[in-house]
Chains A and B, each alone.
Chain A
Amino acid sequence: MTEPGISRRSFLDRLLGLGVLAWLGSVIYPVVEYFKTPPQGEAEVTSVVATKIQSVKPNSGLVFRFGREPAILVSGPDGKLRAFSATCTHLQCTVQYRNDLQKIYCACHNGMYDLNGRNLAGPPPRPLTEFQVTVKGDDVVVSRT
């Protein structure tokens, strides 16, 4: 027969251990949660006016703000307008338009995309996300597809 004293002791030990664990949990859990940043109000943007049509020249690019992220409006040598997310698919640098190369270029690691946002050279693994461009009156409107 086990001595009641010992089993009582080990029972108490276990209880104490559980208590300590519970206590630790109740301290650590809120702290960890505290570090998770809640989403900041800003509603998901679906469309913005990038610029005025008059100011867009052929063979040029413009980085503008699309909600929380940067986007790029590219006017090809033929004057055709396209827009993409300007966040490089490699490591999230902001891309730019190189009129000498007529390509979209990422300076961080020499990533290269063509005018359709397809990744051509360098480390980018995926094409840029494309947005829709419409001209409403004077405004160049870019929206999520």
Chain B
Amino acid sequence: MTERASGPMRWIRERFNIDPLIEFASHKQVPEWRGSFWYYFGGVSLFLFIVQVVSGILLLMYYQPGEKTAYESVRFIVTKVRFGWLVRSIHSWAANLFILSAFIHMFSVFFTKAFRRPRELTWYSGFLLLALGLGFGFSGYLLPWNTLAYFATKVGTTIVAVLPGVGEPIMELLRAGKDVSTATLTRFYGLHVAILPAAFTLILGLHLMLIQTQGMHEPEPWPGGKPRYMPFFPNFVLRDLLLWLIVLNILAILAVWFPWELGSKADPFGAAPQGIKPEWYFLFTYQALKYFPAKLAGIDGEVVGIVLFGIAGLLWFLVPLWDARTPRGIRNRFINYVGITVVLFIIVMTALGVR
């Protein structure tokens, strides 16, 4: 094979030994079973992240943070710049689809128990990626500086402040001051376009490297008792690409037919409008908090709620540690019940919140 190569291939080979990579790709296999479908959501999330990077960079060409410029520059993008509305709409839609796809990916990993040894690090890094994704959503939401975003940010950051002791300092760190102001906008901007992308890229690199070196998780036990595989290249990759194309089409349809609204400019000295709601992916937390009574055993109900959510999140993150295998080593129904409860909880609370 090395002999035959000439031209650019040889040029590269003389400088960088790519044979191990090719070797690796040609032997890589993907387990083929009824759960294989779910493998694709990791790839879809990756694709949507790439879309976000590209569309985000395009938006950067015109966006200007600042009290007098943030809203105006976004309006300029969506009304004056050629295809600006499309780029902005894609950025907003892809952000939401990314979160959705990452959630599906996470739950499929959870239910197929793919987080188990030796893939704990993949789970941990994936969880962090989702958390960073939510951070992207929260910080990006404020950037157009419209009324809804302004008050949603105010409420969202105040919720953090109810935590005794650490809450206030964290809130002030996020807001860059005591109030949600232009300083907050600048800080969120920095987070959104520099800090979060840097952290995300690093962890994503680790996540992908782990997946590539460990290979995809195989079902335990194999349905029918016999393992079946599909070559990663080209079979799996082509399917992946086809799905990316489909997702791109869905994205285009959504962005064109349901362009993202800009709303009215935020007025820090105006009354809050009706219908302040967080983005849908925060809705279930937000809705659940409403059901906590004002006082629980002498403590603010909201504090109890937030602490409980914190603990639940931590347990979820640490699932590889407490997921005890059954004596037979494989099935653990308890984990499934936990997962189903969580999914139902999220769906019901989100539905109640949308109403």
Do B155 and A93 touch (CB < 8 A)?
A: yes
Which listed segment binds A: B56-64, B100-108, B272-280? B272-280
A63 at the A/B interface (Cβ < 8 Å)?
A: yes
A138 to chain B, nearest CB (A): 22
- Name the interface size band of chain B: 20 to 34
- The complex places the Cα of A125 from the Cα of B293 at a distance, in Å, of 11
A69 at the interface (CB under 8 A from B): yes
A-B contact count (CB 8 A): 61
Q: Are B158 and A64 closer than 8 Å at their CB atoms? A: no
Interface size class of A (residues with CB under 8 A): 20 to 34
Interface residues in A22-80 (C-beta closer than 8 Å to B): 35-37, 39-40, 63-65, 68-70
- Complex Cα distance A39/B175, Å? 12
In the complex, residue of chain A having the shortest beta-carbon distance to the beta carbon of B292: A123
Residues of A within 8 A of B276 (CB): 93, 107-108
- In the bound complex, how far is the Cα of B172 from the Cα of A35, in angstroms? 10
A86 interface residue (CB < 8 Å to B): yes
Q: Are A93 and B294 neighbours in the complex by a CB distance under 8 Å?
A: no
Q: How distant is the Cα of A39 from the Cα of B177 in the complex, in angstroms?
A: 7
User: By DSSP majority rule, is chain A's interface helix, strand, loop, or mixed?
Assistant: loop
**Cβ distance A34 to chain B, nearest Cβ, rounded Å:** 11
Q: Enumerate B295-333 residues with CB–CB distance to A below 8 Å.
A: 300
CB distance from B145 to the nearest CB of A (A): 16
B 141-189 contacts with A by CB, 8 A:
151, 154-155, 158-159, 172-173, 176-179, 183
**Considering the chains assembled together, what is the distance between the CA atoms of A68 and B276 in angstroms?**
22
Q: Say whether B179 contacts A108, CB under 8 Å.
A: no
Q: A86-B271, A93-B276, A108-B272 are known contacts. Are A37 and B155 too (CB-CB below 8 A)?
A: no
In the complex, the answer to whether A125 meets B154 with C-beta atoms within 8 Å is no
In the complex, what distance in Å separates the CA atom of A68 from the CA atom of B287?
30
Q: Which of A86, A95, A107 contacts B273 (CB 8 A)?
A: A107
Q: Which single member of B158, B178, B271 contacts A91 (CB below 8 Å)?
A: B158
* Min C-beta distance of B169 to chain A, whole Å: 9
B256-279: CB near A (< 8 Å → 1, else 0) gives 000000000000111111111000
Contact in complex: B158, A92 (CB < 8 Å): yes
Contact A92-B155, Cβ < 8 Å, known A37-B177, A109-B290: yes
Complex-state Cα separation, A39 to B181, whole angstroms: 13
A107 and B271 within 8 A (CB)? yes
Residue interface bits B179-204, CB-to-A below 8 A is 1, else 0: 10001000000000000000000000
Instruction: Tell me the residues in window 94-118 of chain A with beta carbons closer than 8 Å to chain B beta carbons.
Output: 94-96, 106-109
Q: How far is the CA of A134 from the CA of B203 in the complex (A)?
A: 59
Shortest distance between the CB of A4 and any CB in chain B (Å): 42
For B179, give the chain A residue with the smallest CB separation. Answer: A68
Give every chain A residue within 8 A of B183 (Cβ-Cβ): 37, 40
Selected from B172, B179, B271, B300, the residue in CB contact (under 8 A) with A36 is B172
Question: Looking at the complex, which one of B154, B172, B176, B177 makes contact with A93 (CB distance below 8 Å)?
Answer: B154
Nearest CB in chain A: distance from B15 CB, A: 36
> Which residue in chain B gives the minimum CB-CB distance to A66?
B269
Q: How far, in angstroms, from A109 to B277 measured CA to CA in the complex?
A: 9
Which residues of B are in contact with A by a Cβ distance under 8 Å? 151, 154-155, 158-159, 172-173, 176-179, 183, 268-276, 290, 294, 300
Can you report 16 residue pairs joining A to B where beta carbons are below 8 Å apart? A36-B172, A37-B176, A68-B179, A70-B268, A86-B271, A91-B154, A93-B151, A93-B155, A94-B270, A94-B272, A95-B271, A95-B272, A106-B272, A107-B271, A107-B273, A108-B272
